[in-house]
Structures are given as C-alpha cells and as structure tokens.
Amino acid sequence: MGLSTVTAKQLEVQRIVDALFSAIAQHRLPPGTRLIEAQIVETLQANRNHVQVALQRLAMQKVVTIEANRGAMVAQPTAREARDIFSARRAIERAIVEAITPATMRKQRQRIATHMNNERKATNDTDRRAIVRELSEFHLLLGEISGNAVLSDILANLMVRSSLIVALYQRNDVPSCASDEHQEIITALENGDNEKAVAVMIEHLDELEAQLALDESVPAEFNLKQALID
C-alpha cells in the first residue's frame, strides 16, 4: 500500500511537471510569468503539496525560479545563460547525431516520416504554437531514437530552456528553426553520412543563436490558467 501511495504521488507530481513543462516549451507561459500555486491547483485539479513539489523540481532544472516572498515564476535566462545553453546544445546534439545509424533510421522510418509530414504542415500554416511545437519536436525525436536516454533527458531540459531564450531574445515573431535544414539532417543520417549531419546540425544551431538579440528582453503578462488548459 505504501508503495502504491508513493507511486501515485510521483505520477501526480509528474503530471503537473509535464503540464507546466509543455506550457513553457510551447511559449504559452513566457519568461517571468508568475506561477501562482492556487491557480495551478484549481486549473489542474491538483493537490497543493504536489504542486509545490513540481515547482521545486522545475526549479532544480532551471526552468522555474523560486524567490522568498515572491513565489515561483518562469525563469528568465540571462544573455550569458543563453549563450551557455546553445553551447551545451551543440555538444549534446552533436553526440546524439553521431550515435544515430542508418539501421536506426530504417527502423524509425515511419515515425520520422510522420513527424516530418506534421512539421511541413505546421510550417505551411500560421499557427505559431504548432510551428514551435513541431520544430522543437524534431530535436527531441533525434534524442529519443539515438538510444542514449541520458543525452535525450539532457536535451529535453535544454530544449525547454531554449524556448525561454527564444521567447525573450528572438529578433522577430517567426520561428527560426527551419524544416528544410531538418530534412537535410535526416537525409544525411539515412545515407550514413554522420559527419555531414553533424555539420548541418551545428550550422543550424549557430543560425538559431545568431537570430537572437542577446542584449534585449521582452517582458510579457500572460494568463496562467488559460495557458495550462490550452
């Protein structure tokens, strides 16, 4: 019974973490948004203690900051952090791309094709949220199929923190991650040309970072409850 209780609590905390993680990654909760516990409890029909644990977990991952007398808010990465995160992404995504074999690509062919189709549909439309979601999902997908769970977990955290950076520092309102470059990486991996795939990925990440105005920030006020139920 004790084990079941612990497991149920862990699952509930993870549900709250996932909801907040997703809202932040998809730009529904921009940097600086106050995460009011009572609103999260009401919106997610959650236990307040579970919400507090979830927020603490996100704070450990640098996705949320918690300050005395102010409570929790979505993290606001500095320009230095932004550069550090992109540097980390270059190292992690290089390792991920190097680990993917043509055999893996064949095994995951249908999953990859489905994603690329969804990505092209999103980028041909005007739903920014869908575009951000699908373009980010590409990088997460490579992490998952690489077979290295540690690299995949690290990348998942870096991708959410990258979303905060884009929300704060991107120079315009057009997602800079390009589907054509993603297809070029896929083609190189299918051909077993990991060296080219790595080169395209690094160039891709360099371009993403170059499109950031790292001396500016864009404060915003958003409806927490609405962001969590979208």
pLDDT at position 230:
63
Q: Indicate if 58 and 83 belong to the same structural domain.
A: no
Return the pLDDT at 129.
Answer: 76
Q: Within this chain, do residues 87 and 192 fall inside the same structural domain, yes or no? A: yes
Looking at the structure, tell me whether residues 130 and 57 fall in a common domain.
Answer: no
For residue 172, report the phi and psi dihedrals to the nearest 5 degrees.
-140, -175
Half-sphere CA count of 46, side-chain side, radius 13 A: 31
Answer yes or no: do 95 and 178 share one domain: yes
**Do 132 and 64 share a structural domain?**
no
* Reported pTM: 0.77
Q: Among residues 77, 85, 205, 226, which one has the least CA distance to residue 155?
A: 85
Which pLDDT does position 5 carry in this prediction? 56
Query: Which of 46, 39, 26, 25 shows the shortest CA–CA distance to 72?
Result: 39
Number of domains in the chain: 2
Asked if 150 and 102 sit in the same domain, the reply is yes
Residues 9 and 116 in one domain: no
pLDDT of the chain along its 230 residues, tens only? 444 556 888 899 999 999 998 888 887 888 999 999 999 999 999 999 999 999 999 999 999 999 988 899 999 999 999 999 999 999 999 999 999 999 999 999 999 999 999 999 988 887 777 888 888 999 999 999 999 999 999 999 999 999 889 888 877 655 556 678 999 999 999 999 999 999 999 999 999 998 888 864 444 455 666 666 66
So what's the pLDDT on residue 6? 61
CB atoms within 10 A of CB 111: 12
What amino acid occupies position 99? A
Predicted pLDDT of residue 94 = 98
Place of tokens 């690299």: 151
The domain in which residue 124 lies consists of: 79-210
∠ Cα 145 115 213 (to 5°): 90
Same domain, 96 and 150: yes
Same-domain status, 55 and 84: no
How far is Cα 72 from Cα 52, in angstroms, rounded to an integer? 9
Shared-domain flag, residues 23 and 36? yes
65 phi/psi in degrees, rounded to 5: -115, 145
Residue 174 has what pLDDT?
Answer: 53
Q: Do 37 and 86 belong together in one domain?
A: no
Residue type for position 192: G
Residues 147 and 186 in one domain: yes
CATH of the domain at 8: 1.10.10.10
Q: Which residue has the tokens 């995951």?
A: 108
Q: CATH number of the domain that 111 lies in? A: 1.20.120.530
Calpha distance 193→228 (Å, rounded) = 41
- Amino acid (1-letter code) at residue 204: H
